[in-house]
Amino acid sequence: MILMVSGRTDIIAFYTPWFVKRYEEGYVDVRNPFNPKLVSRIHFQNVDAIMFCTKNPLPILPYLEKIDKPKIFHITLTPYLKEIEPNLPPKKEILEGIKKISKMIGKEYTYVRYDPIFINNKYSLQYHIKMFERLCNQLDGYIEHIIISFLDNYKNVRDHIKEIKPKSLTKDDYKTIGENFSTIAKKHHMTVQTCFEDENLVEYGFVKADCLSKELAKQLTGKDKFKKWKARLGGKCNCVEMVDIGAYNTCSHFCKYCYANYDEKKVKFHQQQHDKNSSLLIGNIEKDDIIKLRKS
Going by C-alpha positions, the residue among 63, 81, 69, 84 that lies closest to residue 21 is: 63
Q: What is the pLDDT of residue 87?
A: 96
Query: What are the beta bridge partners of residue 29?
Result: 41
pLDDT tens, residue by residue, 88-124: 999 999 999 999 999 999 999 999 999 999 999 999 9
- Residue 293 CB neighbour total at 10 angstroms: 10
Residue 231 pLDDT level (bands cut at 50, 70, 90): low
What is the reported pLDDT for 234? 57
Percentage with pLDDT > 90 across the chain: 89
What are the residues whose beta carbons fall under 8 Å from the beta carbon of 141, sequence distance 6 or more? Answer: 107, 189
- Rounded to whole angstroms, how far apart are CA atoms 170 and 154? 20
* Confidence tier at 237 by pLDDT (50, 70, 90): confident
**For the chain, domain boundaries:** 2-294
- Burial code (b: 16+ CB inside 10 Å, e: under 16) for 41-66 equals ebebeebbbbbbbbbbbbbbeeeeee
- pTM for the model stands at 0.95
Q: What is the mean pLDDT of residues 196-221?
A: 92
**What pLDDT score does 232 carry?**
57
The mean pLDDT of 178-197, rounded to a whole number, is: 96
Provide the angle, in degrees to the nearest 10, between the axes of the packed helices 125-138 and 171-187.
20
Buried b (16+ CB within 10 A) or exposed e, 262-275: bebeebeebeeebe
Give the pLDDT score at 233: 57
